[in-house]
């Protein structure tokens, strides 16, 4: 095979993989929509809720798997998919129980309000797994491990890793074990890369370092206290999530989505937030919705559109719509792996499928906060 032919073949494989990822992420978004809608029903019983939380966690894992496959196994720095902490922890506990085995009793106490803090599900699960394995290894004869989530306001600067952190309001995940503890002279090195007290057991010295990096990537920090013969306590601190208000107050939003389940999910979500929603399935219908023969009060103040529409690509729609309605804020949604297609467009935010309701509401709120009059904003691309 010639080099040119090999290049064409690899490009074809890449295009096929991207199309499969897009279609798979559409399916995951539809599942997410149904699960999220069921979770907010007041009549849901606890057993059903646990099942739905487990399904939600599986969806997130599937989405992360696709992202990693298309990124060659490594996610780009800062590529965080934010979700509420307590549901992630709750859904992951069965895995942690399997890790620690029957001789260690695990107690879980969840105390964070919904949406109090947002973290990447994969990153948090990885951190919890590393910390749980360390706790297990510190209790070879069995013992107790507790995981607690809460909110805290430290009253004095904390000796955090890698640097002291001033008091503030945080969501906290605390893991406390009854194991052998860590000698005081090792505490300053415990989070350093490649430092391990388990070299004989094949320890890499990267577990606690990765926990520190997880906290850092979320603008948080980690602390550890330990008493030999008594146990160890690790606390992960994450800044509280202050989501801007997404109340629609009767404002008009245009939703352009050809996947019926996803369109219904977005429409129902925004309708509950007080938005007036127009939902269409293709670009031509969207352009009619922003046409200049409508009264100003009928004009959408923001457009949410899928990137891959039946009749045109999302960026093409954005440019065409802004020739009619200059400066219209846009959220482009896609099941593909990257958002490079939106480069060069102003006031456009990219949202990858599958997404949670909170992600969409946060983006919508930030994009429309103090939004200028779109009739007087010039397009920069």
Q: List % helix, strand, coil for the chain (3-state, nearest 5).
A: 45, 20, 35
Q: What is the dihedral of CA 73, 74, 75, 76, to 10 degrees?
A: -140
Query: Which pLDDT does position 375 carry in this prediction?
Result: 37
- Once rounded to an integer, what is the mean pLDDT over residues 247-276? 89
Task: Compute the distance between CA of residue 118 and CA of residue 83 in angstroms, rounded to an integer.
Answer: 5
Of 184-193, 221-230, 327-336, which range is least confident? 184-193
**pTM (predicted TM-score):** 0.56
Say which CATH topology domain 252-376 has: Rossmann fold (3.40.50)
pLDDT in tens, 32-87: 777 877 877 778 887 787 778 778 767 766 776 666 565 544 444 445 667 789 98
Q: Is the pLDDT of residue 381 over 50?
A: no
Query: Which pLDDT does position 3 carry in this prediction?
Result: 52
Q: 348, 328 in Cβ contact below 8 A?
A: no
Q: Exposed, middle or buried, 330 (CB in 10 Å: 0-12/13-18/19+)?
A: buried
Q: Is the pLDDT of residue 159 over 80?
A: no
On average, the pLDDT of the chain sits at 78
**Cα 8 to the chain's mean position, in Å?**
35
Q: Is the pLDDT of residue 138 over 80?
A: yes
- Once rounded to an integer, what is the mean pLDDT over residues 19-29? 73
Residue 379 confidence class, pLDDT cut points 50, 70, 90: very low
Q: Exposed, middle or buried, 106 (CB in 10 Å: 0-12/13-18/19+)?
A: middle
Q: Is the pLDDT of residue 367 over 50?
A: yes
Domain residue ranges in the chain: 77-242, 252-376
Beta bridge partners of 147: 108, 175
Range of 3-17, 227-241, 244-258 with top mean pLDDT: 227-241
Q: Is the pLDDT of residue 203 over 60?
A: no
Query: Which pLDDT does position 179 carry in this prediction?
Result: 93
Out of 3.10.129.10, 3.10.20.740, 3.30.565.10, 1.20.1430.10, the CATH code matching 77-242 is: 3.30.565.10
Of 75-89, 125-139, 363-377, which range is least confident? 363-377
Q: Is the pLDDT of residue 125 over 50?
A: yes
Q: Is the pLDDT of residue 380 over 50?
A: no
The sign of the CA dihedral 242, 251, 339, 264 is: positive
């Amino acid at each position: 095979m010639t080099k040119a032919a090999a290049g064409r073949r690899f490009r074809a494989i890449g295009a096929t993989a991207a199309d499969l990822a897009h279609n798979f992420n559409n399916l995951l978004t539809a599942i997410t929509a149904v699960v999220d809608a069921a979770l907010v029903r007041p009549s849901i019983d606890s057993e059903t809720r646990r099942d739905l939380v487990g399904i939600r966690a599986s969806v997130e894992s599937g989405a992360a798997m696709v992202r990693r496959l298309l990124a060659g196994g490594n996610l780009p720095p800062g590529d965080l998919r934010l979700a509420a902490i307590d549901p992630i922890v709750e859904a992951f506990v069965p895995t942690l129980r399997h890790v620690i085995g029957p001789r260690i009793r695990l107690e879980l106490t969840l105390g964070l309000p919904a949406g109090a803090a947002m973290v990447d599900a994969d990153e948090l699960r990885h951190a919890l797994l590393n910390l749980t394995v360390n706790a297990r290894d510190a209790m070879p004869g069995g013992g107790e491990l507790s995981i607690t989530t809460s909110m805290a306001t430290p009253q004095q600067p904390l000796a955090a890793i890698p640097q002291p952190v001033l008091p503030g309001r945080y969501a906290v995940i605390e893991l406390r074990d009854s194991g052998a503890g860590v000698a005081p002279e090792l505490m300053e090195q415990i989070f350093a890369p490649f430092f391990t007290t388990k070299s004989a057991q094949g320890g890499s010295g990267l577990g606690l370092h990765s926990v520190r990096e997880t906290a850092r990537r979320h603008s948080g920090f980690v602390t550890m206290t330990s008493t030999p013969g008594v146990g160890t306590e690790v606390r992960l601190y994450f800044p509280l999530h202050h989501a801007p208000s997404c109340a629609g107050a009767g404002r008009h939003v245009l939703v352009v989505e050809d996947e019926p389940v996803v369109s219904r999910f977005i429409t129902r979500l925004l309708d509950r937030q007080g938005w007036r929603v127009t939902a269409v399935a293709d670009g031509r219908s969207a352009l009619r919705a922003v046409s200049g023969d409508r009264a100003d009060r009928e004009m959408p103040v923001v457009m949410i559109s899928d990137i891959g529409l039946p009749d045109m690509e999302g960026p093409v729609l954005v440019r065409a719509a802004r020739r009619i309605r200059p400066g219209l804020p846009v959220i482009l949604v896609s099941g593909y792996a990257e958002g490079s297609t939106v480069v060069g467009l102003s006031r456009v935010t990219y949202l990858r499928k599958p997404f949670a309701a909170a992600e969409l509401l946060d983006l919508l709120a930030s994009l429309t906060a103090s939004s200028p009059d779109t009739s007087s904003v010039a397009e920069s691309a």
